[in-house]
Amino acid sequence: MSIDCIVAGAGIWGCTVARRLAESGRRVLVLEKRPVVGGNVRCEIDEETGIEIHSYGSHIFHTHIPEVWEFVNRFIKFNGYQHKVLANYEGRIYYLPLGLALINKFFGVELKPGEVADFMADEAHSKAIFDAFFRGYTSKQWGKPPEEIDDSIIKRVPVRSNYDVNYFNDYNQGIPLTGYNSLFERLLDHPNIEVRCNAAVELDGATLKLSGEALPAVPTYYSGPIDALFGYRFGHLPWRTLRFETEKLDVKDYQGTSVVNYTEASVPYTRIHEFKHYHPEDAAVMNSPKTIIMREYSATWRPGDEPYYPVDNTESRELLAKYQAEAAKVPNLTVGGRLGGYKYYDMDKSIESALNLAL
């Protein structure tokens, strides 16, 4: 088909942009460098157990933005899963985030809600919590020795004065009943959308090309790494990456919940995911005599790795500004999404960003 717009990158931002363009009557060519769409929200179904494996780490949809919730519910329905995270410290299990459940168990006290603020204002108490649950975990996540992690971080950690152990405050939460892949399939299921995978775009001067051939000079929405688009001419933007080890176990339930954080620096991985717990409504999955876990390791990004978390510092902000200035010179080009914007968007914020674009 002839095209009016190009969307390069079929993650959640790109697919939302493509759907908006298509519904406005424009013919859209979606180009995705991977063999499949979905970006880092892509999942795979284990044939033996039926368990939906989050290929790039756990993704829980949560939002308090009405427009975003209304938009995604046009395409999928959610199972109402409420995310609760546990922390393993010295072999004992605690509820995160920081609240009455964690504080009372850790210190062996029975605080009331009105007593939490004064208790945590005591430097000895705040330091003990920080050392146990944040120092080691943060050092693994960002690749710094534990002694370089500043104690002042604990002052920015919200403290709940109740027993609410729901990890997110957003009142709309869940996992798609039909799986995350169905969201992308349905977003792109429109007669005005054509999808091509294994199709990485490149920039030659001010001309976007695919396999060496110039693409039409139409409005283009790019959500790949902004530094990659310009051939890293100013250098690589710094990222943290993740490595995963996935294992199928001959037990019905390994850890009793979807995510357990391992907070000690001596434990090499940051957390273990157990995916069957994301679909408590699926009796066949929950009753399977086997389960699938994934250990997650954080590492410094190297060329060829998958970028996950942008490293926000003075140098990276200056480098990003250079690439953004170059992007502004390219006619008809809009750069966005997690990689293009060099921001760690939650899924709802990525959709919100796409919905707010003036197309």
Domain ranges of the chain: 98-164
Q: Per the structure block, which two tokens stand in for 145? A: 């020795």
Asked whether the beta carbons of 102 and 95 are under 8 A apart, the reply is: yes
Above 70 in pLDDT, residue 1?
no
Catalytic hit among 32, 46, 52, 296: 296
Is 186 marked active-site? no
Is 346 marked active-site? yes
C-alpha 94: how far from chain center: 23
Is 271 marked active-site? yes
Report pLDDT digits (tens) over 274-303. Answer: 999 999 999 999 999 999 999 999 999 999
Above 80 in pLDDT, residue 154?
no
* pLDDT value for 153: 73
* pLDDT value for 149: 85
Helix (H) or strand (E) segment spanning residue 208: strand 207-210
Report pLDDT digits (tens) over 33-85. Answer: 999 999 999 999 999 999 999 999 999 999 999 999 999 999 999 999 999 99
Catalytic hit among 47, 147, 156, 250: 156
Catalytic hit among 254, 297, 309, 344: 344
Amino acid residing at 47: E
Catalytic hit among 222, 271, 274, 338: 271
The candidate with the shortest Cα–Cα distance to 199, out of 215, 217, 211, is 211
Is 160 marked active-site? yes
Distance, CA of 352 to CA of 337 (rounded, Å): 10
Q: What contacts 119, CB < 8 A, 6 or more positions away?
A: 103, 109, 111, 125
Catalytic hit among 42, 160, 221, 342: 160
How is residue 108 annotated by DSSP?
Answer: T
Q: 156: how many CB neighbours lie within 10 A of its CB?
A: 6
Catalytic hit among 19, 20, 135, 240: 240
Report pLDDT digits (tens) over 203-230. Answer: 988 899 998 899 999 999 999 999 999 9
pTM value is 0.95
CA distances to 209, 220, 230, 298, 354 from 205, rounded to whole Å, are 10, 15, 9, 36, 26
Above 90 in pLDDT, residue 148?
no
Distance, CA of 137 to CA of 123 (rounded, Å): 20
